Chains A and B, each alone.
Chain A
């Protein structure tokens, strides 16, 4: 079981310092692990940043990697979750020719996939679709026959299902320091 490759979401909370992204990613590089997607942004706590990294590997390997990440001085906390333990989402943008919009099939595809038209130009339109990777990929496959000029998909953003808040962890960290 431990040696089965699965998709894991790693959530890392860090101080807002220069070079954090590099510090984190070299831990994966050193172990020859390929990152599928990565996103970073400030959290609900000012100056605390969250990195969400998705990759396929084994439970044993990812636990060790998270152990190394937690050792980084500016990392507050790192978690690893399987897909079932996170609510996650990605966003994808598709650019297609405006002339194609008159094709009824395109309209049908947009409707059926709950996508929306984000921007309309005389030459192209931009369609937006949020969802899991499989969903944004499915829309891409359906639009492809009509010609997709450009396609971009974000990394995964995820929140965890357990109710504990980040601020609780931060308080615990402060308490540990005083012991």
Chain B
């Protein structure tokens, strides 16, 4: 046994006995019991006792001081999404807590396990409009999986145990525990017991074998089956089962945005991403396949386009853990209400081995056509300037599709989804459901904290970067070796693209000026360079990747490039446009 594990063991034995301590210390002890190693946060009046207790435990738990609470929560999201752990956030009452709301909404819609602990004014002051008092429970209710206010120290332990259980079980999500300042000071007998069940909460349904059999029957009869995989595969740890299932059935595998990486991007059965800016083939083939099986995805409107024209010809198998998602948007012919891993493992035994070479070939031909059209158009429209796709293709090649790529929101995000070949699970971190600009920089810090040995690259637009650039300070102070690529087109590019296509090029407030990003990085002691010429790109990317500390690379790209393929709003997926 190593010294650290010895200490941990000793700690655990110690914890079995009841100890008297303050509510604040109990909070920290709870985190240790849940094996939390990293906390992202920002102190303030109402959470000071907890920060004071934390000060005694810095040898056992790491705290990262961000520059804004939004940075803390996005960092925790990046941390959770690239590890198997819960992201933990500390924030104070009032503005500290309200600054978490965007991250909570983002984590809620993208199913990310978080436990956010907020300080609150002392309980006698609740409802008095006290300094920095805000109704955190009321405000965060619609954007949390669960939240709870604690006003007595004796309830801290049980509530936090419940919080960790809820955050990571079933369909994961963010939890807020709001602790009043008097509860933090109060003494409590500490005895930790992990929460394993809650009477009113069923995280996982029992696998229904009838449903699985029905799904297998449909698949066995299918001539043109197609599979769409989502983040649910990753959340249930079903990547291996998926690979085996795909190999056995020979089915073409497409992915949602958040599903990228759950199936290797370089696998011959991988046919690309579906949706508004997804690949041509999987969009068109959605309306040609005879059986459409989806696993761990929720038919987001960006995936389906016009639902009345979505896969009408196909029998639909929807494998989904969250019962409320089944038949919410698209009616399933065979719903499989189950954990993705359990369902896939059961299906593997029931499906017949098949090859669908001709069918798969149709996808490949369409992909080739798509590549050709996109490349020709870009060459024609932008003969001199660099475009985002080439930066991402080159990044993909240089990292062999094995880096963790964290993207923000907009054109660069879709380009990364299309041109970075995600070969590993948990390597794609992006704000999918909520579309939060400013997500990438802090989320990349969190991803790097969870994966210190991996290459973590944040790809960000010039607009999104300026929403949370203060986190460069966090990167500096904590030596977080994230690599930052800013694709600078001088526009809020995605909105500009829509203005060009649907608002007669009326560029209303989408042109954006930026500071000297490299000088800015330098002022935070972060190395960097700016690239204007294609000839400089490769060596600049290599320098970025080889740097052993944080690095910022700004690439000047064509101002008015557009993301294609594109399914215009209200159109059917089969009406996907290549130009």
Question: Which residue numbers of A lie inside 8 Å of B, CB to CB?
Answer: 14-15, 18-19, 22-23, 26, 30, 63-64, 67-68, 70-71, 73-76, 170, 173-174, 176-177, 179
Residues of B close to A176: CB separation below 8 A: 202, 206
Task: For the complex formed, measure the closest distance between the CB of A78 and the CB atoms of chain B, giving whole angstroms.
Answer: 11
17 A-B pairs with CB atoms under 8 Å apart are: A14-B200, A19-B138, A22-B138, A23-B141, A30-B142, A63-B327, A67-B324, A67-B328, A70-B324, A71-B323, A73-B201, A74-B200, A75-B200, A170-B199, A173-B200, A173-B202, A176-B206
Q: Which of B137, B146, B206, B327 contacts A73 (CB 8 A)?
A: B146
- Give A179 to B198 CA distance when docked, in angstroms: 13
Task: For the complex formed, measure the closest distance between the CB of B329 and the CB atoms of chain A, giving whole angstroms.
Answer: 10
- Give A74 to B146 CA distance when docked, in angstroms: 9
- Give A71 to B206 CA distance when docked, in angstroms: 16
- Give A170 to B324 CA distance when docked, in angstroms: 21
Contact A71 B197 (CB under 8 A): no
- What total count of A-B pairs have CB within 8 Å? 46
> Which residue on A lies nearest to B322, using beta carbons?
A71
Residues of B close to A18: CB separation below 8 A: 149
Apart from A19-B137, A76-B200, A173-B202, list 17 A-B contacts with CB within 8 A: A15-B200, A18-B149, A19-B141, A26-B142, A63-B327, A70-B324, A73-B198, A73-B200, A73-B201, A74-B200, A76-B199, A173-B199, A176-B202, A176-B206, A177-B197, A177-B199, A177-B202
Q: How many residues of B contact A (CB 8 A)?
A: 20
Task: For the complex formed, measure the closest distance between the CB of A112 and the CB atoms of chain B, giving whole angstroms.
Answer: 47
- Give A73 to B141 CA distance when docked, in angstroms: 12
Task: For the complex formed, measure the closest distance between the CB of B117 and the CB atoms of chain A, giving whole angstroms.
Answer: 18
* Interface assignment of B145: CB less than 8 Å from any CB of chain A: yes
- Give A26 to B138 CA distance when docked, in angstroms: 10
- Give A19 to B146 CA distance when docked, in angstroms: 11
* Interface assignment of B289: CB less than 8 Å from any CB of chain A: no
Residues of A close to B521: CB separation below 8 A: none
* Interface assignment of B166: CB less than 8 Å from any CB of chain A: yes
Residues of B close to A173: CB separation below 8 A: 199-200, 202
Contact A73 B328 (CB under 8 A): no
- Give A70 to B324 CA distance when docked, in angstroms: 8
Interface string of B134-171 (1 = CB under 8 A from A): 00011001100110010000000000000000100000
- Give A22 to B34 CA distance when docked, in angstroms: 30
Contact B141 A71 (CB under 8 A): no
- Give A76 to B142 CA distance when docked, in angstroms: 19
Q: Which of B138, B145, B199 contacts A174 (CB 8 A)?
A: B199
Kindly list the 5 A-B residue pairs having the minimum CB-CB distance in the complex, ordered from nearest.
Answer: A67-B324, A177-B197, A73-B146, A76-B200, A73-B201
Interface string of B180-200 (1 = CB under 8 A from A): 000000000000000001111
> Which residue on B lies nearest to A177, using beta carbons?
B197
Contact A64 B324 (CB under 8 A): yes
Task: For the complex formed, measure the closest distance between the CB of B425 and the CB atoms of chain A, giving whole angstroms.
Answer: 26
With A67-B323, A67-B324 in contact, is A26–B201 under 8 Å at CB? Answer: no
- Give A170 to B141 CA distance when docked, in angstroms: 26
Residues of B close to A26: CB separation below 8 A: 141-142
Task: For the complex formed, measure the closest distance between the CB of B275 and the CB atoms of chain A, giving whole angstroms.
Answer: 22
Interface string of B536-568 (1 = CB under 8 A from A): 000000000000000000000000000000000
Residues of B close to A22: CB separation below 8 A: 138, 141
Task: For the complex formed, measure the closest distance between the CB of A90 and the CB atoms of chain B, giving whole angstroms.
Answer: 28
- Residues 197-233 of B at the A interface (beta carbon under 8 Å): 197-202, 206
Residues of B close to A71: CB separation below 8 A: 322-324
Residues of B close to A174: CB separation below 8 A: 199
Contact A68 B324 (CB under 8 A): yes
- Give A26 to B202 CA distance when docked, in angstroms: 22
Residues of A close to B141: CB separation below 8 A: 19, 22-23, 26
Q: Which of B138, B206, B322 contacts A179 (CB 8 A)?
A: B206
Most central of A14, A19, A73, A76 by chain B CB within 10 Å: A73
